[in-house]
Structure 1
């Protein structure tokens, strides 16, 4: 693999991971507004983007295991770091949807009981 190809792959990972982060951030804003359906939809978009980024990374790793030689790239290391960080953010956001949706339901039940 040429350094140029490694850089192109790294940029694809960063691009799609960045889009995933944007959707995840938008979902967190929806959680803040108790719009859980919208948050879930945005998380689907985030997941689709992170899958693309992960696929690019996996293809690069497969090429290397098949014998393709490549030089170390700080940009590619950054791309992998970004991918894994955003992946963690997505996992946390998914849990936050569940947590806040549950809390919201409890509040609604309490409000109904106090009427």
Structure 2
């Protein structure tokens, strides 16, 4: 059975990793409409959200490095997937926002 602290860390991976992805998508949508201030804000929020998820992941890695390993669960894999997908979306969103900015710049 998973302890409460481990469950909380995994849920932070899911929530903040997923949040980062959502903000990245919103940044692309804002750039598509020509609202680059909003796009930049959404990218910044994506960074913040993914940083929180990364801190949760780092805590879990530190615990394992200190000999407190835990059983890998489907929920943990799901959380890692959210984090990695969020990072990939954020990186792509930055490029897409810049493309829209370039296209709209006279």
TM-score by length of 2: 0.91
What CA RMSD, in Å, does the superposition of the two structures yield over aligned residues?
A: 1.3
Q: How far off its partner does 1:7 sit?
A: 2.2
| Worse-superposed segment, 48-57 or 28-37 | 28-37
Q: How does 1:23-38 map to 2 (within 5 A)?
A: 23-38=23-38
SS of the aligned residue for 1:71 comes to: coil
Q: Structure 1 residue 17: deviation in Å?
A: 1.3
The aligned residue for residue 100 of structure 1 is: 100
What is the DSSP-based 3-state SS (H/G/I as helix, E as strand, rest coil) of the residue aligned with 2:60? Answer: helix
1:40-55 matched pairs, under 5 angstroms? 40-55=40-55
Distance 1:16 1:84 in 2: 11
What 5-or-longer segments of structure 1 have no aligned partner? 109-115
CA distance in 1, matches of 2:74, 2:6: 10
- In the TM superposition, what is the alpha-carbon distance from 1:91 to its structure 2 partner? 0.2
Hey, which bits of structure 1, 4+ residues long, moved more than 4 A?
A: none
Judge conservation of contact 2:17–2:85 (CA < 8 Å) in 1.
no
Q: What are the ranges of 5 or more consecutive residues in structure 2 without an aligned counterpart? A: none
Aligned residues: 105
Contact 2:64 2:70 in 1 (8 A): yes
- Compute the displacement of 1:32 (Å): 1.2
| TM-score (norm: length of structure 1) | 0.84
Determine the C-alpha separation between the residues in 1 that align with 2:34 and 2:8: 39
**Contact 1:6–1:76 (Cα < 8 Å) also in 2:** no
